[in-house]
Amino acid sequence: MYDVIIVGGGASGLACALTLVSSRGRGWSWAEDKKYLIFDKNESDLHKAYLKNVPGLQPMRGTELLQVIRKQIEEWGGVEFLQEKVVEIRRDGEAYRVITEEGKEYVGRYVVLAGGFKEFSIKGIDFEVLENPKSPKPGRVMIKHENYEVMPNLFVVGTLAGISSHFTSCAGSGVEVAVEILSRMAGKRIVIHDVPED
Ligand SMILES: Cc1cc2nc3c(=O)[nH]c(=O)nc-3n(C[C@H](O)[C@H](O)[C@H](O)COP(=O)(O)OP(=O)(O)OC[C@H]3O[C@@H](n4cnc5c(N)ncnc54)[C@H](O)[C@@H]3O)c2cc1C
Q: Tell me what percent of the residues of the chain surpass a pLDDT of 70.
A: 100
Instruction: Annotate 146-181 with b (16+ C-beta within 10 A) or e (fewer).
Output: eebebeebbbbbbbbbbbebbbbbbbbbbbbbbbbb
Backbone angles phi, psi at 160, to 5 degrees: -70, -15
pLDDT digits (tens, 9 = 90+) for 43-65: 999 999 999 999 999 999 999 99
DSSP state of 25: T
> Is-above-0.75 flag for pTM?
yes
Distance from the CA of 42 to the center of ligand 1, in angstroms? Answer: 10
- The dotted CATH code for 2-186 is 3.50.50.60
Give the pLDDT score at 62: 98
C-alpha 185/C-alpha 182 separation (Å) is 5
How far apart are the C-alpha atoms of 160 and 156, rounded to whole Å? 7
pLDDT tens-digit series, residues 151-161? 999 999 999 99
The pLDDT score that the predictor gives to residue 196 is 95
Q: Is the CB of 170 under 6 A from ligand 1?
A: yes
Nearest CA to ligand 1 atom 50: 49
In degrees rounded to 5, what are phi and psi of residue 37?
-135, 135
| 66 φ/ψ angles, rounded to the nearest 5 degrees | -60, -40
User: Could you identify the atom of ligand 1 that is nearest to the CA of residue 100?
Assistant: 42
H or E element: which one contains 76?
helix 62-76
Q: What pLDDT is stored for residue 192 in this prediction?
A: 94
Whether ligand 1 lies within 6 angstroms of the CB of 166 is answered as yes
* pLDDT for the residue numbered 180: 98
Which residues does the chain have with pLDDT short of 50?
none
CA distance 63 to 60: 8
